[in-house]
Amino acid sequence: MAWRLTGADRATAEEVAQEAFLVAYKKLETLDNPEALRAWFFRILTRRAANYRRWRGVRDRFARLFVQEVSSPPTPGEPAVRERIEQAMSGLSQGQREVFVLVYLEGFTLDQSAELLGKAPGTVRTHLHRALKALRRDLEELMLELR
């Protein structure tokens, strides 16, 4: 089911399923009706897979902006684009920048990022939301040019 939901490779499906099992294990005591275990678990798995698909799309989109393949020739205006992105990134607070880099550029989940930074998951979500809002505002013109 995880493989079908993610539309990805086996390793990704295993990771999503593993995360779902971990969440289910941690929240097992909240399950009121043991007969509903299967449906309850599949809801968790479905949410984890949806989160993966959503964040994969966002990470891929931002990776195209931030990562240049060595084999690709430089395109006209590229230094200007990189400079604008760097300027927008420098406007972020340290917490916002750390979370943005961990989630979008390094591919960590929000929970993994919270653990790595020693912050509450809610704080990480807030930092990420504010970082995205600021970057969208600062790079709106650039995004229109690149479309």
pLDDT of 8 reads 63
Q: For residue 117, what are its two tokens?
A: 């930074």
**How many C-beta atoms lie closer than 10 Å to residue 76's C-beta?**
6
pLDDT of 103 reads 86
What domains appear along the chain, each with residue ranges and CATH number?
Answer: 1-67 (no CATH), 74-147 (1.10.10.10)
pLDDT of 19 reads 93
pLDDT of 73 reads 47
Q: What is the mean pLDDT of each run of 10 residues along the chain (147 residues)?
A: 76 91 93 85 85 78 62 57 81 86 82 85 95 90 74
Q: How many residues does the chain have?
A: 147
pLDDT of 55 reads 80
pLDDT of 14 reads 92
Q: CA-CA distance, 35 to 111, in Å (whole number)? A: 29
